[in-house]
Amino acid sequence: TEELLVKSEKLATVGELAVSIAHEIRNPLTTLKGFLQLLPGTPVEAHGQYVTIMLDELTRIEIILHELLLLARPQKTEYAPVDVAGVVRQAIALLEPQAVHQGVRVMTHLSPATPPVWGLPYRMEQALVNVFKNGIEAMPDGGRLAIRLWASGGHVWVSCTDEGVGMPKERISKLGEPVYSTKEKGTGLGLVVTYKIVEMHRGRIHVDSTPGRGTTVTIGFPAGPRPDGQPAPPSR
Ligand code: ADP
Ligand code: MG
């Protein structure tokens, strides 16, 4: 088992992020332009196939921009006490259709009474969705996804264990860097968003993976008031 603690300080600078994202958007744009240029000289029978590819590329741009906006949108500062179990259940519910579609069974082991966490529930949900989604995507032929919730050491922890493809150590060390993806239709932004959100909450993220066997991602949110002793930021 390879184990690495991944630090959230490794977040990209705005400049690095901009360059990578511009690059990610340029690829599908180039494809789109190429197909549009070909279209007039192509028999009508082939148009359906071209249009399908062009729509896929547009969808890809849409997904990239959606994830980018999550990072760039002015941060809502309404921190509030959050019941992490509720956030976990909501994240699972959002992914249910994809899990069913891929034959993934989601097993939950949620400790009944974890303390509230000072946080942004929608962001926390997004952070978890991105991790759970990767777990499902790591098992294209189905399997089990185990989601656990417990409290210890002043944190509320959520872990997500899949029985999927796993990752070598070198890849774990790249997680959270912008647009690193091994998936044909991946954006590589999911974990960038997750790391950013974990950092906003002064949380922890930990990845444990064995190639060919599976991966466990564990996220810890500090329980109770903000650990830096700051009061809640004023709401706008
Ligand atoms: P994306 O899912 O769009 O590729 P992410 O930022 O969510 O982008 O993930 C980046 C990469 O990290 C993935 O492409 C994959 O290679 C790797 N990865 C993340 N989670 C897992 C997992 N549970 N199992 C295997 N590989 C993973
Ligand atoms: Mg992902």
143-189 per-position pLDDT tens digit: 999 999 999 999 999 999 999 999 999 888 888 777 677 887 777 88
User: 146-165 burial by CB neighbour count: b if 16+ within 10 A, else e?
Assistant: bbbbebeeebbbbbbbbbbb
The Cα–Cα gap between 84 and 166 comes to 26
pLDDT of residue 28: 84
The Cα–Cα gap between 89 and 147 comes to 10
Q: Which ligand is nearest to the CA of 192?
A: 1
Report whether pLDDT(2) > 60: no
- SS3 state at 143: strand
Query: Does 182 contact ligand 1 (Cβ within 6 A)?
Result: yes
Task: Please tell me whether the interface predicted TM-score (ipTM) of this complex is above 0.90.
Answer: yes
Give the whole-number percent of the chain exceeding pLDDT 70: 82
Compute the average pLDDT of residues 12-41.
Answer: 78
pLDDT of residue 235: 42
Query: Does 24 contact ligand 1 (Cβ within 6 A)?
Result: no
Query: Does 164 contact ligand 1 (Cβ within 6 A)?
Result: yes
Query: Does 77 contact ligand 1 (Cβ within 6 A)?
Result: no
Cβ distance 139 to 163 under 8 Å? yes
Top-confidence residue, 120 or 212: 212
Continuous H helices in 73-175: 84-101, 121-137, 169-174
Torsion, CA 60, CA 12, CA 197, CA 78, rounded to 10: -100
**Sign of the CA dihedral 184, 188, 193, 199?**
positive
Compute, in angstroms, the gap from residue 118 CA to the centroid of ligand 2: 25
Residue 127 CB: number of other CB atoms within 10 A? 30
Report whether pLDDT(100) > 70: yes
- How sure is the predictor about 117, in pLDDT bands with cuts at 50, 70 and 90? very high
Compute, in angstroms, the gap from residue 187 CA to the centroid of ligand 2: 7
For atom 11 of ligand 1, the residue with the nearest CA is 181
pLDDT of residue 76: 56
Maximum mean pLDDT: which of 35-49, 72-86, 122-136, 220-234: 122-136
Burial of 82 (0-12, 13-18, 19+ CB in 10 A): buried
> For residue 113, is it left (φ>0), alpha (ψ between -120 and 50) or beta?
beta
Q: Given the CA of residue 181, which atom of ligand 1 is nearest to it?
A: 14
Q: Which ligand is nearest to the CA of 183?
A: 1
Report whether pLDDT(26) > 50: yes
Beta-strand relationship, 104-110 and 143-152: parallel
Report the residue among 134, 139, 192 best suited for mutation to probe ligand 1: largest number of ligand atoms under 8 A from its CB.
134
Compute, in angstroms, the gap from residue 153 CA to the centroid of ligand 1: 28
Beta-strand relationship, 2-5 and 204-210: antiparallel
| 46's tokens | 């082939």
Compute, in angstroms, the gap from residue 135 CA to the centroid of ligand 2: 9
- SS3 state at 203: coil
Report whether pLDDT(8) > 80: no
The phi, psi pair for 139, rounded to 5°, reads -125, 70
